[in-house]
Amino acid sequence: MFKRFRSLFRALTRRSDFEDGMTEELRFHIEEYTDDLVRSGMSQGKAARLARMELGSLTNVKGDCREAFGLHLFDEFRRELHYAIRLLRKTPGFTATALLTLAVCFGANLTIFAVIDSVLLRPLPFPEPGQLVTLFNTYPRAGVERDGSSLTNYYERRDHIPAFASLAIYRYGTAIVGEAGSTEREQITQVSPDFFSTLRLGPVMGRTFAEEETTYQTNSVAILSDTYWRQHYNADPNVIGRQLRVDGRPKTVIGVLPPGFSFLSSEARLYFPLASRPQDRMPLERHSGGNVIQMIARLKPQATLLEAQSQIDAQNATLELDDPQAKMMADAGFRSLVVPLHADHVAAIRPTLLLLEAGVLVLLLIGAVNLVNLLLIRSSGRIKELAVRQALGASRGYVISETAVETTLLTLVGGLLGLAVGAGGIRLLAALGYDRLPLGARIAFDMRLALVALVGAIVMGVVLAAPIAWFSLRRHLGTTLQTESRGGTSGRSAQILRHSFIVSQIALAFILLAGAGLLGLSLERVMAVSPGFQSDHVLTGQISLSGKSYPDAAARLAFIENLMDKTAHLPGMLFRGVVNNVPFSGNSGKSAATVEGHILRPGESARGHYSYGVAGDYFQAMGFSLRAGRFLTAADSRRPERVCVVDEDFAQYYWPKTSAIGQRLWEGSQQGKDLEAFTIVGVVGGVKQAGLTEDQAQGAIYYPYIFRTDDKMFVAVRASLAPESLALTLEKVVRQVDADVPVNDLRSMETRIADSLVARRSPALLAGLFSGIALLLTAIGTYGVLSYAVAQRRREIGVRMALGAQPGQIRRQFFSLALRMLAGGTLLGLLGAWLAGRAMQTVLFHVPPLNLAILAGAACVTAVVSLAACLLPSERAARISPMEALAED
Amino acid sequence: MGKTAELLPGTLDMLILKAVSLKPLHGYGVLLRIRQISRDALEIPQGSLYPALYRLEHHDLIAAEWGQSENNRRAKYYTLTAAGRRRLREETAGWNRLASAMAAALNTTSEEV
């Protein structure tokens, strides 16, 4: 087989050698034969004639020889290609429309495919990625869907779950790296020693972390990413053993990761051991995950997810037997779930992406229908030509392959243009914030995409050719040849097909339009939700303090108080405050609290509440509303009495009838000592903590900062002018307090809220864009089909006008055709829009699948566009002059 | 030409392979050699000779090379390849089996039934 390809290839590449050789060989034959005949006594002329005659027609022999090499297919292809190019150049209007349609449809599809491919399809970049799973604790009845895993979980499960080949935990974080004065904040990940072996991808240089390096005394080692190693160590091959300062402490480099190593969407460039104390690993800490530490595991080759899940369930059941909190956890619906790592990571964005993919596929369908219609019209203009050629001996196969060559040529060029559009589309996606999607950093314009475009273009070419070839071949040759007109009449079935294509186009465009409308309405409803505070004029930024300089709560409080003092008299800063996490920062954790005197009702479980430590004038800075009592003040962190503020959701839940002021509660899931009780001194308005679409009011508790500190915190500043204008000032003041502390993630609250809507806004925008294109394509399609109908019936119209028909009647005739197609399309579209709306429910916010206003709007827009498209052709029909029409042909 | 027999389909390839197996030949030489070894019994249609040669070359059963003819002219000479030699052996064996089976069948007399 291979040899045959090689000989064909050689014949193709040295085509002239092949032809010359063949000619020479045949001439040699004739001359030798002639000589032999002459020698046997024949005259020269007669001999030459006989020699030629016996060989037969040279053209035929040569053709047969070429065919023996498989060359004829290429010759034919080349001829068809030239013919197709000539045809396309003869009709530049058609060619440009078709190419533009293809470019836009392919471009949109390639863009969305690039996202789908990198986020959903392409496996994680580790060996056997399908075996990787993640585990997390869930307490659904306490309102905590996801609580990560605890250190205890890790130490209890390691080597005890037979379905897992290995198990590891990690924690995302940041660290301040570098010598004093030239520090940089770096994304880091702390990992257990088996993290890299679980991924089966570890350091290419040096070693991974050891079990002994998981204590706070021994964790001074680091593994560098390839980019960090190149940037900061100039790719030094002797980097192992060198020191770097992390949060003021020295760490020794023990390994370098391979280039391109990336774990999920993490941008971490440094990896440290996840250190802990023995008491953090005790059974009592089993439920203290707090969504900070995450667990991954690798299934053994034969093990299934179900096995792993049942083994985890069984182990949990055994371990909880002697857990004092077991009853409460069971009431809260506690379980540890095992889910595939990749699917879990992209679960939230998956429905939206699939929706967009459906949208672009509809767009492609509309484009394809448009092209088939335009091609059908064009081919019926050539009916007679084709019939003549068939009568002269062109085979059916020839007609089919000629059509396929032409459509594939179109789609290939269209695909090439589509790649350019797609490249632009990917840029647009980046502008819409798609690189911030899970795994969004992988979205790229690459060979894979080019290959998809190529295959898609070829498939499209063949698909487009099928109906055209079918229609060209099924006509009766005799009748076609007998008709007098040059174009020939197209059959009634072709006309019905063209019209039903328009109907389906209108329906599809309607569905897209209605879908985009639903997304837009949903976005509008989300944006109309009040976050619960005055989000304008608030600047927020994150600060993290290193454990070395700020070992305890008192030191952190001192830092904050110093900062508050320094900013007190700065112009433009009305109120300043500090909190562990601002709303919409994406990392608000919930924890348990116990209310004095609250007895759990049957079926009720302890609830997780958003819990924060606040300092300064946090409430005023964020613009919270005070419902009762007072806000916390800076002094509350310095007073012996323990006080706190709760939000109205919390107050409403526990004291629906009485006032919350003066009530007492404890942190944690048990009633503590009297001295540790917090007295509620104020009730503030409820706030959307995790996002505007958060439906469940989970309740929040605000403690004075000293009681709930963290090495990370957010500063919030209410500004009298544009909040962004204060960013530089804030950074400078923080540097004045401590030169080694940078401020990160500086954004106004309004920006944070807007950014939290990226997964809703950009699909709505894209869907709007798609439906705009769909409408344009539908208009082109309607225009094309009606123009053709008018042109074809020119003569008939001329006759009717000569017999006294009024232009208005003619105009009405075409208008009513357009109206009928519009009505059919809209009816079908209504059905489709209802189905699409139901399929979209998961991504919609408080929007029913059928919304009258949207449907009416979509119907109006479709009607206006398609009637406008038929205006020109019907006007042209009405202006036909009977004299001219009858004189033609 | 009363004595010449019609070529059975598929036998032209076999004859070409056989002719070329004896000695490298140019196209016209193949024609003459087949006439000679069949003792003028088989007449090759000249129009199908060259397509057959090209097909065999394409299938790597014979190889072509330019050389000098007896009267010093440039000519394309065909030789048998290893694959061609194998094919010829198989086809010869197959043909002989078929021919003897056919002969036995056709010579059957009524007594032998």
pLDDT digits (tens, 9 = 90+) for A675-685: 889 999 999 99
- Check: CB of residue A549 under 8 Å from CB of residue A752: no
The answer to whether the Cβ–Cβ distance between A8 and B26 falls below 8 Å is: no
Tell me the C-alpha distance between A262 and A439, whole Å.
10
Among partner residues B27, B47, B55, which is closest to A60 by beta-carbon distance?
Answer: B47
**Which chain B positions have a beta carbon within 8 Å of A17's beta carbon?**
none
The answer to whether the Cβ–Cβ distance between B54 and A69 falls below 8 Å is: yes
**Which chain B positions have a beta carbon within 8 Å of A3's beta carbon?**
60
Q: What angle do CA A128, A133, A137 make, to 5 degrees?
A: 170
Among partner residues A7, A33, A56, which is closest to B47 by beta-carbon distance?
Answer: A56
**Which chain A positions have a beta carbon within 8 Å of B57's beta carbon?**
7
**Which chain B positions have a beta carbon within 8 Å of A56's beta carbon?**
45-47
The stretch A530-544 carries a mean pLDDT of 91
A124 located within any domain:
no
Task: State how far residue A46 is from chain B, nearest Cα, in angstroms.
Answer: 18
Q: Is the pLDDT of residue A500 over 70?
A: yes
Q: Which residue of B has its CA nearest to A8?
A: B58
The answer to whether the predicted template modeling score (pTM) of the entire model surpasses 0.90 is no
pLDDT at residue A306 in the model: 95
**Which chain B positions have a beta carbon within 8 Å of A67's beta carbon?**
51
Tell me the C-alpha distance between A2 and A313, whole Å.
57
The stretch A425-439 carries a mean pLDDT of 82
B interface test, pick of A18, A31, A32 with most B CB neighbours within 10 Å: A32
Query: Which residues touch A603 (CB under 8 Å, ≥6 apart)?
Result: A331
The answer to whether the Cβ–Cβ distance between B54 and A65 falls below 8 Å is: yes
A133 located within any domain:
no
pLDDT at residue A436 in the model: 75
Tell me the C-alpha distance between B78 and B16, whole Å.
10
**Which chain A positions have a beta carbon within 8 Å of B74's beta carbon?**
24, 28
pLDDT at residue A888 in the model: 65
Which of A70-74, A249-253, A416-420, A462-466 is predicted with the least confidence, judged by mean pLDDT? A70-74
Tell me the C-alpha distance between A540 and A658, whole Å.
35
Q: A477 and A556 share a domain?
A: no
Task: State how far residue B97 is from chain A, nearest Cα, in angstroms.
Answer: 29
A interface test, pick of B54, B55, B56, B66 with most A CB neighbours within 10 Å: B54
Mind listing the domains of chain B with CATH numbers?
11-112 (1.10.10.10)
Q: A520 and A376 share a domain?
A: yes
Tell me the C-alpha distance between A490 and A614, whole Å.
79
pLDDT band for position A509 (50/70/90)? Answer: very high
pLDDT tens per residue, range A719-760? 988 888 888 899 889 988 988 888 888 899 998 898 888 778
A426 located within any domain:
yes
A833 located within any domain:
yes
The answer to whether the Cβ–Cβ distance between A7 and B57 falls below 8 Å is: yes
Among partner residues B31, B51, B59, which is closest to A65 by beta-carbon distance?
Answer: B51
Query: Which residues touch A297 (CB under 8 Å, ≥6 apart)?
Result: A132, A133, A134, A135, A161, A164, A166, A167, A168, A198, A308, A338
State the residue range of the domain holding A472.
350-527+758-887
B interface test, pick of A4, A40, A65 with most B CB neighbours within 10 Å: A65
pLDDT tens per residue, range A851-873? 889 999 999 999 999 888 888 88
The stretch B40-46 carries a mean pLDDT of 81
Q: A820 and A701 share a domain?
A: no
- Final residue in a domain of this structure, among A297, A331, A365: A331
Contacts from A454-458 at CB under 8 Å and sequence distance 24+? A454/A412, A454/A415, A456/A106, A456/A109, A456/A415, A457/A106, A457/A408, A457/A411, A457/A412, A457/A414, A457/A415, A457/A416, A457/A418, A458/A408, A458/A411, A458/A412
The answer to whether the Cβ–Cβ distance between A28 and B73 falls below 8 Å is: yes
Q: A718 and A792 share a domain?
A: no
pLDDT tens per residue, range A756-781? 887 788 888 888 989 999 999 899 88
Task: Using a CB–CB cutoff of 8 Å, tell me whether B60 touches chain A.
Answer: yes
Amino acid at A802: A
Q: A400 and A503 share a domain?
A: yes
Mean pLDDT of chain A: 87
Tell me the C-alpha distance between A420 and A107, whole Å.
7
Among partner residues B46, B58, B76, which is closest to A21 by beta-carbon distance?
Answer: B76
- Final residue in a domain of this structure, among A331, A361, A385: A331
Task: State how far residue A25 is from chain B, nearest Cα, in angstroms.
Answer: 7
> What token pair was written down for A300?
């053994």
Tracing tokens 């790649």 back to the chain, one arrives at A419
**What proportion of chain A, given as a percentage, has pLDDT over 90?**
42
> What token pair was written down for A181?
């004065």
Q: Is the pLDDT of residue A487 over 50?
A: no
Question: For residue A179, which phi and psi values (nearest 5 degrees)?
Answer: -75, 155
pLDDT at residue B2 in the model: 45
For residue A195, the number of C-alpha atoms closer than 13 Å in the C-beta half-sphere is 25
Tell me the C-alpha distance between A21 and A36, whole Å.
22
pLDDT band for position A479 (50/70/90)? Answer: low
Q: Is the pLDDT of residue A485 over 70?
A: no
Q: A550 and A696 share a domain?
A: yes
Greater confidence (A181 vs A486) lies with: A181
**Which chain A positions have a beta carbon within 8 Å of B52's beta carbon?**
68
Q: Which residue of B has its CA nearest to A11?
A: B58
- Final residue in a domain of this structure, among A695, A710, A740: A740
User: What is chain B's percent helix, strand, coil content, to nearest 5?
Assistant: 55, 15, 25
Strand partners, A206: A255
pLDDT band for position A588 (50/70/90)? Answer: low
Amino acid at B8: L
Question: For residue A610, which phi and psi values (nearest 5 degrees)?
Answer: -65, 130
Task: Using a CB–CB cutoff of 8 Å, tell me whether B4 touches chain A.
Answer: no
Number of domains into which chain A is organized: 4
Tell me the C-alpha distance between A306 and A312, whole Å.
10
Q: A499 and A364 share a domain?
A: yes
The answer to whether the Cβ–Cβ distance between B59 and A4 falls below 8 Å is: yes
H-state helical runs in B24-81: 27-37, 46-58
Residues 70-109 of B with CB under 8 A from A: 73-76
A746 located within any domain:
no
pLDDT tens per residue, range A113-164? 999 999 999 999 999 999 999 999 998 888 888 889 999 999 999 999 999 9
For residue A747, the number of C-alpha atoms closer than 13 Å in the C-beta half-sphere is 13
> What token pair was written down for A295?
């667990």
A401 located within any domain:
yes
Q: Is the pLDDT of residue A644 over 90?
A: yes
Cα–Cα nearest to A185, from A747, A746, A744? A744
**Which chain B positions have a beta carbon within 8 Å of A26's beta carbon?**
50
**Which chain B positions have a beta carbon within 8 Å of A61's beta carbon?**
47, 50-51
Q: Is the pLDDT of residue A477 over 70?
A: no
Cα–Cα nearest to A667, from A637, A682, A646, A651? A646
pLDDT at residue A99 in the model: 92
A449 located within any domain:
yes
DSSP string for residues in A165-208 = EEEEEEEEEEEEESSTTS-EEEEEEEE-TTHHHHHT---SEE--
CA A40 to chain centre: 84
pLDDT at residue B1 in the model: 41
Q: A497 and A621 share a domain?
A: no
Q: Is the pLDDT of residue A490 over 60?
A: no
Q: A427 and A492 share a domain?
A: yes
Q: A510 and A555 share a domain?
A: no
Tell me the C-alpha distance between A61 and B47, whole Å.
6
B interface test, pick of A36, A61, A66, A71 with most B CB neighbours within 10 Å: A61
**Which chain B positions have a beta carbon within 8 Å of A24's beta carbon?**
74, 76
A122 located within any domain:
no
- Check: CB of residue A767 under 8 Å from CB of residue A861: no
Which of A357-371, A412-426, A746-760, A823-837 is predicted with the least confidence, judged by mean pLDDT? A746-760
Q: A763 and A619 share a domain?
A: no
Q: Is the pLDDT of residue A486 over 50?
A: no
Q: A478 and A413 share a domain?
A: yes
The answer to whether the Cβ–Cβ distance between A60 and B55 falls below 8 Å is: no
**Which chain B positions have a beta carbon within 8 Å of A64's beta carbon?**
47-48, 50-51, 54
> What token pair was written down for A241?
């053993």
Tell me the C-alpha distance between A69 and A557, whole Å.
87
